[in-house]
Chains A and B, each alone.
Chain A
Amino acid sequence: MAVARKVPTYCYQCVAGPDLLNVVVEDGVAVKVEPNFGVKEHPAGGRPCVRAYSLVQKLYNPNRVKTPMKRTNPRKGKDQDPGWVPISWDEALDTLAGKLRAIREAGFVDENGYPKLAVTFGAGGTAPAYLGGFPAFMSAWGGPLDQGIGSGQGMKCVHSEHLYGEFWHRAFTVAPDMPHNTYVLSFGNNGDVSGGVIGIWRHAEARGRGATWIQFEPHMSVTAATAAEWVPIRPKTDAAVLYAIMHVTLREHEWRRVCDVDFLSRMTNAPYLVGPNGYYMRDPSSKKPLVWDEKRGMAVPFDEGDGDGFALDGEHPVSGIEVGPDEEIITHDRVAARPSLQLLHDFLAPYTPEWAQTIADVPAETIRRVARDFLAHARVGATVDVEGVTLPLRPVAILLGKSINNGWGGYECCWARTVMAALVGALEVPGGILGTTIRLNRPSSNRMESVRPGPDGFMAQPLNPTSKDKWQARPTSRSAHKTLVPLVSDGSWSGALSPAQLPWLFMEDAPSKWPEPTPPEVWIVGRSNPAISNWDTDLVISKLKKFPFVAAFAYTQDETNWFADVLLPDATDLEAYQLFRVGATKYVESYWDHQGVALRQPVIDELPYDTRDLTDVGTELARRLGLLERYNEALNRGVALGVPLRAGEYDVSLEPAKAHTSSEIWDRACRAATLSLSNGRDEHDLAWFQQHGTYLVPFSRLNWYLHPEMVKKGLRYELPYQEQLKRIGGELKNRLHEQDIRWWDTQLEEYQALPPWKDFPRIWEKVAERFGKKPDDYGLWLLTSRSMQYSWGSQASLPLMADIARHVRGHFGVMLNNTYAKSLGIADGDEIWVESPIGKQKGTAILRAGCRPDVTVAIGQFGHWATPVASDLDMPNLNMLEPMDLSLIDATGSGSDLIRVKVYKA
Chain B
Amino acid sequence: MRWGMVIDLRKCVGCQTCTVACHEENALPPGIFWRHVVDVEVGEYPDVRRTFLPMGCQHCAEPPCVPVCPTGASQQRKDGIVFVQYDMCIGCGYCAIACPYRARHMVQDHTWYFGEATPSEKQAHEPERYGVMTKCTFCKHRVDKAPAGATPGVDPEYTPVCVSSCIANAMHFGDLDDPQSNVSTLRDQHQPGVLLEELGLKPSLFYITE
Contacts and interface: CB of A to CB of B under 8 A. Distances in A.
A850 B50 contact: yes
Contacts of A26: 123-124
Interface residues of B, dominant DSSP: mixed
A30 interface: yes
Interface string A791-828: 00000000110011101110000000111000000000
Interface string B36-48: 1111011111101
A47 B11 contact: no
A341 to B, nearest CB: 36
B114 A608 contact: no
B20 A29 contact: no
A849 interface: yes
A664 to B, nearest CB: 29
Nearest to A195: B13
Interface string A12-40: 00000000000000110111111101000
Contact of B41 (A44, A819, A849): A849
B167 A201 contact: yes
B170 interface: yes
Nearest to B32: A803
Contacts of B180: none
A517 to B, nearest CB: 41
B175 interface: no
A49 B114 contact: no
B30 A799 contact: yes
Contacts of A56: 24, 120
Contact of A208 (B10, B15, B21, B37): B10
A645 B119 CA distance: 39
Contacts of A850: 41, 45, 48, 50
A806 to B, nearest CB: 9
Contact of A60 (B42, B120, B157): B120
B24 A32 contact: yes
Contacts of B31: 803
A808 to B, nearest CB: 6
A624 to B, nearest CB: 34
Interface string A201-220: 10111011000000000001
B50 A220 contact: yes
B167 to A, nearest CB: 4
Nearest to A227: B50
Given A804-B16, A850-B41, A224 B50 contact: yes
B170 A789 contact: no
A234 interface: no
A252 B68 CA distance: 69
A197 interface: yes
A232 interface: yes
Interface residues of A, number: 64
A226 B123 contact: no
Given A31-B120, A56-B120, A232-B46, A208 B11 contact: yes
Given A53-B21, A207-B11, A809 B41 contact: yes
A177 interface: no
Nearest to B17: A50
A33 B157 CA distance: 13
A300 B19 CA distance: 64
A606 B1 CA distance: 46
A724 interface: no
B45 A808 contact: no
A514 to B, nearest CB: 46
B24 A61 contact: no
Interface string B109-120: 000011010111
A787 to B, nearest CB: 10
B179 to A, nearest CB: 22
A230 B156 contact: no
A188 to B, nearest CB: 16
A50 B124 contact: no
Given A37-B156, A204-B11, A850-B48, A54 B164 contact: no
25 contacts: A30-B120, A31-B123, A32-B120, A34-B161, A34-B165, A35-B156, A57-B118, A200-B168, A201-B168, A205-B169, A207-B11, A222-B13, A225-B14, A230-B48, A608-B119, A799-B113, A803-B23, A804-B16, A804-B19, A817-B45, A848-B41, A849-B43, A849-B45, A849-B48, A850-B45
The 9 tightest CB contacts between A and B, nearest first, are A225-B50, A204-B11, A204-B168, A60-B118, A53-B20, A29-B123, A192-B13, A50-B17, A32-B24
